[in-house]
């Protein structure tokens, strides 16, 4: 199935299955967990945690790296997302999820 076919299928079935939830989420989000994971295509946060849309605020990057906190004039994606999740969204939990056979972690040890 192509990505376009999947989007069309979602519009006809998946969206309707959770129509009430999406209606609530269109105004605001209130995730309970910040999930920091690898951008590896095999890691699917909502699948492995069995959560619905709106429950996770997800940050994905190579090797699920959480950079050292520092004050800068520039905005960095991961640190900005972490800051937003904690300060604006008041998430209750933070999960940093690693996985086996991570290419990013492998590259650190075998450049």
**pLDDT for 46-63, tens place per residue?**
999 999 999 999 999 999
Query: Which is the catalytic residue, given 18, 32, 60, 102?
Result: 102
User: Of residues 42, 70, 73, 110, which has the active-site annotation?
Assistant: 42
Token pair 């199935």 is found at 1
pLDDT tens profile 5-33: 999 999 999 999 999 999 999 999 999 99
* Residue 102 is among the residues annotated as catalytic for this protein: yes
45-62: string of b/e by CB count within 10 Å (b at 16+)?
beeeeebeebbbbbbbbe
Length of the chain in terms of residues written:
111
**Domain assignments of the chain as residue spans, ordered by start:** 1-27, 31-109
pLDDT band at 74 (very low <50, low <70, confident <90, very high): confident
Whether 9 is catalytic is no
Does residue 42 carry a catalytic annotation? Answer: yes
Residue 56 DSSP one-character state: E
Work out the pLDDT band at 71, boundaries 50, 70, 90: confident
**Which one of 18, 32, 60, 99 is the catalytic residue?**
99
The one catalytic residue among 18, 40, 60, 97: 40
Q: Among this protein's residues, is 105 annotated catalytic?
A: no
Query: What's the pTM value of the predicted model, to 2 decimals?
Result: 0.88
What is the CATH superfamily name and number for domain 31-109? Carbonic anhydrase (3.40.1050.10)
Round to whole Å and give the CA distance between 8 and 74: 38
């Amino acid at each position: 199935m192509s990505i376009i076919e999947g989007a069309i299928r979602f519009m006809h079935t998946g969206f309707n299955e959770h129509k009430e939830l999406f209606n609530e989420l269109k105004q605001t989000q209130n995730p309970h967990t910040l999930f920091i994971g690898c951008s590896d295509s095999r890691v699917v946060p909502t699948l492995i945690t069995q959560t619905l849309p709106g429950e996770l605020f997800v940050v994905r990057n190579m090797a699920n790296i959480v950079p050292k906190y520092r004050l800068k004039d520039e905005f960095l994606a991961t640190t900005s997302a972490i800051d937003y999740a904690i300060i604006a969204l008041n998430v209750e939990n933070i999960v940093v999820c690693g996985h086996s056979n991570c290419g990013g972690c492998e590259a650190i040890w075998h450049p």
